[in-house]
Amino acid sequence: MENRIAKQFAEEWIKSWNSHDIDTIMSHYANEIEFHSPFIKMLNFNDTGIISSRAELKDYFKIGLLKYPDLHFNFHKYFVGINTICISYTSVNNKEALEVFELNNEGKATKVFCNYAIIEE
């Protein structure tokens, strides 16, 4: 993946989440999507932690935006791979997050894996 494309995706993705505009957020995801996140279970959306349809993904994001009205992502850095980008940021409740996106030829996410730092007590 070209660095320019990855940088643009990362910047626009963070900006879209911080705007809370669901249509702008959804513009980063392909029609065929596989989305993995522990927050899916935490928000009682489903028991698997996996979403496999764009419509369900949009519903899930709407629930998240309602649950966290002050949601703001603080961008740290991005990493580039073969058809993938990883975005490191601080998420809700000040959790460190790393999301791995597999992108299609149009630059839309087809697979996403959300990962959160574990704070050991």
Range of the domain at 45: 3-116
User: Total structural domains in the chain?
Assistant: 1
Cβ-contact 14, 6 below 8 angstroms = no
pLDDT confidence of residue 121: 62
Burial of 18 (C-beta count, 10 Å sphere; 0-12/13-18/19+): middle
Contact between residue 78 and residue 96 where contact means Cβ atoms under 8 Å apart: no
Residue 121 lies in a domain: no
Q: Is 37 inside a domain boundary? A: yes
Does the predicted TM-score (pTM) go above 0.85? yes
User: CATH number, domain at 23?
Assistant: 3.10.450.50
**pLDDT tens digit string along 62-88?**
999 999 999 999 999 999 999 999 999
Distinct helix (H) and strand (E) counts, the chain: 4, 6
User: 28-60 pLDDT, tens per residue?
Assistant: 999 999 999 999 999 999 999 999 999 999 999
Mean pLDDT taken over the chain: 95
Q: What is the mean pLDDT of residues 96-115?
A: 96
Cβ atoms 12, 25 nearer than 8 A: no
C-alpha angle 54-62-50 in degrees, rounded to nearest 5 = 45
28 located within any domain: yes
